[in-house]
A and B are shown apart, each in its own frame.
Chain A
Amino acid sequence: MVNNETKTVPLDFEQPLTVLAQQIELLEAQLQSQPELEPDVTHLRDQYEILRRSIYSNLRPIDHLALARHAQRPYARDYFDRFDNTWMELHGDRKMADDPAIISGLVTIGPYKVVAIGTDKGRNLRQKQICNFGMPQPEGYRKAMRMFEHAEKFHLPIITLIDTPGAYPGMAAEEHNQAEAIARNLMVLASLTVPVIAVVTGEGGSGGALAIGLANRILMLEHAVYSVISPEGCASILWRSADKVATACEAMKMTAAEIHKISVVDEVVDEPLGGAHQNYDLMAHTLQKSLIKQLDKLTKMSPKQIKQDRLEKYRKIGVTVE
């Protein structure tokens, strides 16, 4: 697990920062023997901060994608642990399997008890393989559905944290009817009378993300992305070229800011400078504040209003002319 002392892995667009940081380090090492270098070091440190701010305020869509997919990005488990260090994990779809790519449990967030569901990509290689790199099987969606129904029965709000490349294109997944599993989740989520808040924390990959994402409020972390198809898939179908991923990222309008602008997402949650992986505690704290603020409003509605609010939200999405 990453904490604040661990070195983070730099991304391509962060290279200028890495170079500058190395220069500063070199000078710092010489400071003891050459105290006259002090002003230079201070100057470079200022330059570093300026460059850092400028880089992170001018990210291209593909840079957001890289941050969203960062190997050290906090996952659902990291958030649940920080929201409530005594949260209880619940397992299994009661039919066939316990898909590790979807985790669920009973979590206390501030004054609220909620049913929390999230995707898990797995941190090390072994965990990643167990979690199928965050691509759920139909059993994962059905596990989530069981939790939706549990929440409805006990009048508990639902929080979902989404970070998945999408559904898994596998033979068993098709034979176990993942299309139906996703569709059924959408219909059940539409029927609930408890508040549902979905947060795209990393990658919002298509139907696999939506399967736990039909909610009263959709939040996205600042560098998260959400799209109808992976940029790689889009590039290969529309441009027939693997080199066009950056172009596909731009064309699809998949960043938090862009999706917020077209009103599909309700709130963009700020990340620590440099991305959520720079400071797990701060990120979890900021997200918790946003969730509590949203729950404060949603829990004031009657069960009927909560359902109606959700239906109306989706009824309005889409752009057509007559």
Chain B
Amino acid sequence: MDLKEWFANRRKRQENLEIKQPLTTEEYCALWKQCFQCRELIYTRDLHSNLSVCPKCQYHFRIGAQERIEQLTDEGSFKELDSSLSSTDPLKFFDTASYSNRLEEASKKSGLRDAIITGIASIQGKEVALGAMDFAHFGGSMGSVVGEKVARLVEAGIENHLPVIIVSSSGGARMQEGIFSLMQMAKTSAALESLHEAGLMYISVLTEPTYGGVTASFAFLGDIIIAEPGARIGFAGRRVIEQTIRQKLPNDFQTAEYLLKHGQIDMVVERPKLAETLARMIDFHQVIEFRPRVAKTKVEATSTHREQ
């Protein structure tokens, strides 16, 4: 049964029950969601409490940065960084509308200043520097703000000696900031080089969808790369590739599972297990107690040797 039919029947049922003020279609849609994969109708509240995963077929709905942070972090632990950082229009970019107007529209629609929220939080007791991207804001695209916030998040990780986790969801670089957007790929990768040099861990979580300049920079530089089931991840989009090579691609092309099979990611983790997996991953790599002890012993040994 499709959604419209279902609502029509429901309206009939309600008319039979003589409900005087039937809900509008928008109100129904807010109350109910249909699974993109199995077409099941799910009560929005149930879907939300099931971490936006379809209870019937396990389809992972796309979720925003706010919901992601709520799902992953310990309650009340998230302290946002750089919440006031906003985009400007450095190139005075104008397509069919000005970029300034599009920025305003995007913020109204998403309720966000830009396509990423960053902060310090704890995940099952492990303190981390956490970033979550939001596809609902400007297609999750990376311009100067996303680049700057990622760089600052990584710096916060270095300063506080914390592992960094970034949950990506992005269509790629933001065209309206031109070459500045391209250079954010360089900026974020350079920041991660410093994190790498500091010996700190970076976990990249790829979610539906992650493409273009984001995959070709920080999203694929994780020490560990995790993807959510069914997420589509790649550099070039499926349609562009099909047009270029003039052949149909396999159905599962660029899905998380396909990437796993091709050796591009470490694991596919279902949403209910994500927080736990991240916490365990961090815990496993916290061996700072072990390493200095070895180094120290060696230094002592040489100095004793010299004295003799």
Residues of A near any B CB (own CB < 8 A): 167-171, 173-175, 177-180, 182-184, 186-187, 190-191, 206-207, 210-211, 213-214, 226-229, 234, 237-239, 251-254, 259, 262, 264, 310-311, 314-315, 317-322
**Least CB distance, B138 to chain A, in whole angstroms:** 13
Whole-angstrom distance between the alpha carbons of A233 and B220 in the complex? 24
Cβ–Cβ contact B182 & A322, under 8 A: no
| Chain B 142-177 per-residue mask, 1 if CB under 8 angstroms from chain A, else 0 | 011101100100000000000000000000011101
Cβ–Cβ contact A183 & B220, under 8 A: yes
A226 surroundings in chain B (CB, below 8 A): 179, 182
Cβ–Cβ contact A174 & B254, under 8 A: yes
A168 surroundings in chain B (CB, below 8 A): 244
- A–B complex contacts, Cβ < 8 Å, 13 sampled: A180-B215, A180-B220, A183-B185, A251-B178, A262-B180, A310-B190, A318-B143, A318-B144, A319-B144, A320-B88, A321-B85, A321-B86, A322-B86
B93 surroundings in chain A (CB, below 8 A): 251-252
B180 surroundings in chain A (CB, below 8 A): 262, 264, 317-319
Cβ–Cβ contact A253 & B215, under 8 A: no
List CB contacts (< 8 Å) of B70-100 with chain A.
Answer: 82, 84-88, 90-91, 93-96
Whole-angstrom distance between the alpha carbons of A226 and B87 in the complex? 22
**Least CB distance, B200 to chain A, in whole angstroms:** 14
Cβ–Cβ contact A262 & B179, under 8 A: yes
B240 surroundings in chain A (CB, below 8 A): 169
List CB contacts (< 8 Å) of B194-229 with chain A.
Answer: 194, 196-197, 212-213, 215-221
B28 at the interface (CB under 8 A from A): no
**Least CB distance, B265 to chain A, in whole angstroms:** 10
Whole-angstrom distance between the alpha carbons of A234 and B174 in the complex? 11
**Least CB distance, B260 to chain A, in whole angstroms:** 12
B245 at the interface (CB under 8 A from A): yes
Cβ–Cβ contact A254 & B189, under 8 A: no
B263 surroundings in chain A (CB, below 8 A): 177
Whole-angstrom distance between the alpha carbons of A321 and B84 in the complex? 8
Q: Is the interface of A mostly helix, strand, loop or mixed?
A: helix
With known contacts A170-B241, A187-B221, A318–B179 Cβ distance under 8 A: no
B184 surroundings in chain A (CB, below 8 A): 317-318
With known contacts A169-B241, A207-B213, A228–B148 Cβ distance under 8 A: no
Whole-angstrom distance between the alpha carbons of A251 and B144 in the complex? 17
Whole-angstrom distance between the alpha carbons of A184 and B204 in the complex? 14
Cβ–Cβ contact B187 & A318, under 8 A: yes
With known contacts A190-B190, A191-B193, A317-B183, A183–B85 Cβ distance under 8 A: no
Whole-angstrom distance between the alpha carbons of A229 and B211 in the complex? 13
Contact with B175, one of A234, A259, A310 (Cβ below 8 angstroms):
A234
List CB contacts (< 8 Å) of B224-250 with chain A.
Answer: 234-237, 240-241, 244-245, 249
Cβ–Cβ contact B85 & A320, under 8 A: yes
Q: Which of A167, A173, A226, A314 has the most CB of B within 10 A?
A: A314
Whole-angstrom distance between the alpha carbons of A229 and B142 in the complex? 13
With known contacts A251-B94, A318-B147, A321-B86, A182–B216 Cβ distance under 8 A: yes
B185 surroundings in chain A (CB, below 8 A): 182-183, 186, 207, 210
Measured CB to CB, the nearest residue on chain B to A239 is B95
Cβ–Cβ contact A186 & B220, under 8 A: no
Whole-angstrom distance between the alpha carbons of A8 and B140 in the complex? 45
Whole-angstrom distance between the alpha carbons of A264 and B144 in the complex? 13
Interface pairs A-B: 6 shortest CB-CB: A318-B144, A169-B236, A186-B189, A179-B215, A190-B190, A179-B235
B215 surroundings in chain A (CB, below 8 A): 179-180, 183
**Least CB distance, A248 to chain B, in whole angstroms:** 8
B253 at the interface (CB under 8 A from A): yes
Whole-angstrom distance between the alpha carbons of A275 and B138 in the complex? 39
B53 at the interface (CB under 8 A from A): no
Cβ–Cβ contact A167 & B86, under 8 A: no
B95 surroundings in chain A (CB, below 8 A): 238-239, 251
With known contacts A177-B220, A322-B84, A186–B186 Cβ distance under 8 A: yes
**Least CB distance, A207 to chain B, in whole angstroms:** 5
Measured CB to CB, the nearest residue on chain B to A207 is B216
Cβ–Cβ contact A187 & B192, under 8 A: yes
B90 surroundings in chain A (CB, below 8 A): 262, 319
B286 at the interface (CB under 8 A from A): no
